[in-house]
A = this chain, B = another copy of it.
Amino acid sequence: MKQPTRQVSTKDSKDNPGSHLKSDIRIDQRKEQSEEEQKLKRNLDKIKHKIAIISGKGGVGKSTVTANLAMAFAMNGDKNKVGVLDADIHGPCIPKMLGLKGRTLIGGPDGLLSPVVGKLGIKVVSMDFLLPNDEAPVIWRGPLKMRAINQFLSDVAWGNLDYLFIDLPPGTGDEPLSIAQLIPDLDGVVIVTMPSEVSEAVVKKAVSFARQIDVPIIGIVENMSGFVCPECGAEVNIFRAGGGKRIAIDKSIPYLGSIPLDPNICSDSDKGLPFIAENKTSPATKIFFEIVRQIENFLQDKKPSERRR
């Protein structure tokens, strides 16, 4: 059992020191817990909007969407007011996609960690910043992951932000559950899917998950839609088209847009250049800004009474 940091003395502690010690420890543990909770709340209160990016299935380009959305919001008038929490403990990709590989989290005099600051003042926290190298795996079961995510939220000097985007790993396990529990006023989730039926089936689980844990769904983004051959211009649906839209209609969820499969998105992500910053006039960039507009509308339409807290 953890040593209490401070003991509460009660009037008859001399008569029965054993039992009082136990109750003192309990009181102190509760106090510590409540201090932790207050620290978390203080941090979260300074962030206007918290949006999680989820998908039932991996590899649908969730991190690409998160990185480009953060960049789009920062370009759209929120310079220095956007943060990204990479909550994928086992496979953190955000630092690479935002060109921040090799950076580390540094502690400040206030005991809080400073997030790494990227282009347009985007503040980023990721497990990747704590690993000795790219090859080091994080072999952790659920409870340790929950603790790490808690610390990323409460022990980081996020400061005053307009938007915090949280990139969650695939599935409906420990990480998304932890985020939903730790952030009671989460504005909502953006669900990313790709146009294949196998993925569609899994994404429906993500929709049910959000509804079961009572988190608003902002909408669905379909990533990697029709591919245009750069040689002949033929449009080929490598993955079958239209799954995202179908789910959106089927489930009465806003459809935010389809991002076309563009080899530049992949090569830019590999180079750490968010696609939309490098290709300002491309169709995919226009779609990202359209998604920004729809998210802003969602947040404006949301009445305070609909907030979960």
Contact = CB atoms under 8 A, between A and B. Distances in A.
Contacts of A302: none
Interface in A176-210: 177, 194, 196-198, 201-202, 204-209
A230 B238 contact: no
A135 B263 contact: no
The interface size bin for chain A is 35 or more
Nearest to A138: B172
A139 B177 contact: yes
A143 B177 CA distance: 14
A261 B206 CA distance: 27
A136 interface: yes
Contacts of A307: none
Contacts of A177: 139, 141
A111 to B, nearest CB: 29
A65 B236 CA distance: 23
A204 B270 contact: no
Which of A174, A209, A238 is packed against the most chain B CB atoms within 10 Å? Answer: A238
Interface in A50-97: 56-60, 63, 89-91, 93, 96-97
A299 interface: no
A93 B198 contact: yes
Nearest to A231: B234
Interface of A: 56-60, 63, 89-91, 93, 96-97, 134-143, 145, 169-174, 177, 194, 196-198, 201-202, 204-209, 212-213, 227, 229-232, 234, 236-240, 261, 263, 266-267, 269-270
5 contacts: A91-B170, A135-B204, A138-B172, A139-B172, A238-B263
Given A90-B171, A137-B212, A229-B229, 5 more contacts: A57-B59, A58-B60, A134-B201, A139-B177, A240-B266
